Amino acid sequence: MKAAGSAVLVQPATLAGRLRDYWALSKPRVTLLVWVTTAAGLALAGGAAPIVWFGALLGSWFVIASANALNQVIETAPDGLMSRTASRPLPSGRLSQAEGLAVGLVWATAGLTLLAVWVNLLTAILGIASIILYALAYTPLKRKTHLSTAIGAVPGAIPPLAGWTAGTGEIALPALLLFAIQFFWQFPHFWSIAWLLREDYSKAGFRMLPFPGAEGKATGLCVVQYTLPLIPLVAAFAMFESQRLPYLTLAIALTAWLIFAGVKFWKHPSDETARKVLRATVTYLPLLLLLMIVCR
């Protein structure tokens, strides 16, 4: 149906459809991957009571979902320019920006309250910082500077740190190593995505490649350079493992595999080699965290 001026009228959604759209606002696949790293940080901290586990995991899910929802509210217009995101609830018109904002704020309030009341204040503060940095710093900067990736990597690295603080109530060296590992992991992850979606991002004015005008080889080289710091970081975590040799052997092998995927992209830049980097990053992080837990 069309109104005067040929504007498309979006039909009222059913309750089930609206709930699906709310769920889509959370970016569930992204939220799940990030949420797993929070759970890993909590597991590595050890000794948390069941109520802390419940509050930390439920609260962190709401916090991550809130950041993703607010991101989509701010990016409604550019999302509508990209084929990959034009069908999302906000750019498609199935939900209004006001409704998306309300959902994001409700999730933020619920998550931060759970963390503050059932976990501890430090973890809640980290939750607030992650929402602010992701939604209000990283998101608007994506259309202004290529440095947004580095800025966005900070809130992206907070979840395992928050998991640790949920279990211990303090920030310690193992937690900082977890933060650093996840910080550097994000560069090959996001730059491989940026290369695969370079045309879509260009339509929306997003500056997601390592620097202006970066070609495949330059992007691949940056992927390798920013993956290399993972070697000393994962090796340093061996200090906190009871099974040091098995952990160190497998962790270095995993990291070498990720670097090798980056080298292939660098030497032979293509969508295929970039996609292999992306798959490697998505596999690498959960396996590394699982290895840390098993060898703890």
Average pLDDT, the chain: 94
Tell me what the mean pLDDT of segment 14-20 comes to. 88
User: Buried b vs exposed e over 253-283: b needs ≥16 C-beta within 10 Å?
Assistant: ebbeebbebbbbbbeebeeebbbbbbebbee
- For residue 3, pLDDT over 90 is answered with no
Q: 148 to each of 141, 151, 185, 203, how far by Cα in Å?
A: 5, 5, 15, 17
Give 102-146 pLDDT, tens digit per residue: 999 999 999 999 999 999 999 999 999 999 999 999 999 999 999
Q: What is the pLDDT of residue 47?
A: 85
Rounded-to-integer distance, Cα 256 and Cα 248, Å: 12
The one-letter amino acid at 231: I
The two structure tokens encoding residue 34? 């990030």
Map out the domains of the chain as residue ranges. Answer: 13-171, 172-296
Contacts of 261 (CB under 8 A, 6+ apart): 188, 273, 276, 277, 280
Res. 8: pLDDT tops 70: no
Residue bearing the bigger pLDDT, 264 or 47: 264
Quick: pLDDT tens for 69-95: 999 999 999 999 999 999 999 999 999
Q: Where are the alpha helices (DSSP H) in 75-172?
A: 76-79, 97-114, 121-131, 139-141, 148-168
pLDDT reading at 5 higher than 50 = no
**Mind listing the pLDDT tens digit for each residue in 19-30?**
999 999 999 999
Fold annotation for 13-171: Tetracycline Repressor; domain 2 (1.10.357)
Condensed to tens digits (0 to 9), the pLDDT of residues 190-240 reads 999 999 999 999 999 999 999 988 999 999 999 999 999 999 999 999 999
Q: Evaluate if residue 288 carries a pLDDT over 60.
A: yes
Residue 279 has pLDDT above 50, yes or no: yes
3-state secondary structure of 108: helix
Whether residue 65 is predicted with pLDDT greater than 80 in this model: the reply is yes
Q: CA neighbours within 13 Å on the CB side: how many for 162?
A: 37
pLDDT of residue 4: 33
pLDDT of 7 over the 50 cut: no
Residue 2 pLDDT greater than 80, yes or no:
no
The pLDDT-based confidence of 12 (bands split at 50, 70, 90) is low
Confidence category of residue 13, pLDDT binned at 50, 70, 90? low
